[in-house]
Amino acid sequence: MPPAVRVDARSLTARGERTRNRLVAAGEEIFGLRGYHDASIAEITQTASVAQGTFYLYFDGKRELLRAVVEERGHELRATLARATAGVTGRVAKEQAGFAAFFAWMARHRALYLIVRQAEYVDGTVYRGWYRQLADGYADALGVAIDDGEIAPVDDVRAHGDRRFRGLAVVGDREAKHSARPCPGDHRPSGGARAGHGYTAAPDQEPALTRSAGLRSTHGPRVT
CATH number for the domain that contains residue 153: 1.10.357.10
Is position 46 within any domain?
Answer: no
pLDDT for the residue numbered 113: 86
Q: Which of 92-106, 123-137, 186-200 has the lowest mean pLDDT?
A: 186-200
Q: Rounded to the nearest 10 degrees, how much is the dihedral formed by the CA atoms of 69, 70, 71, 73?
A: 70
Is position 171 within any domain?
Answer: yes
Residue count of the chain: 224
Question: Closest Cα to residue 31, out of 104, 118, 149?
Answer: 118
Q: Is the pLDDT of residue 50 over 90?
A: yes
pLDDT for the residue numbered 99: 87
Of all residues in the chain, the percent with pLDDT exceeding 70 is: 63
Is position 37 within any domain?
Answer: no
Q: Is the pLDDT of residue 33 over 60?
A: yes
Q: Domain span at residue 68?
A: 62-213
* Beta-sheet strands, E only, within the chain: none
- Calculate mean pLDDT across residues 69-88: 94
Compute the distance between CA of residue 145 and CA of residue 149 in angstroms, rounded to an integer.
6
Domain count, the chain: 1
Is position 16 within any domain?
Answer: no
Q: Is the pLDDT of residue 2 over 80?
A: no
Is position 159 within any domain?
Answer: yes
* 94 within 8 A of 55, measured Cβ to Cβ: no
pLDDT for the residue numbered 134: 83
What single-letter amino acid sits at 124?
G
Is position 20 within any domain?
Answer: no
Q: Is the pLDDT of residue 6 over 90?
A: no
**Element (H or E) spanning 71, and its range?**
helix 62-85
Is position 115 within any domain?
Answer: yes
* pTM as predicted: 0.70
Phi, psi of 217 (to 5 degrees): -70, 150
> Higher pLDDT residue, 213 or 48?
48
Compute the distance between CA of residue 78 and CA of residue 138 in angstroms, rounded to an integer.
10
* Sign of the CA dihedral running 157, 158, 161, 166: negative
Is position 201 within any domain?
Answer: yes
Of all residues in the chain, the percent with pLDDT exceeding 90 is: 41
Compute the distance between CA of residue 187 and CA of residue 143 in angstroms, rounded to an integer.
36
Question: Per residue in 148-185, pLDDT tens?
Answer: 777 777 666 666 666 666 656 555 555 545 554 444 43
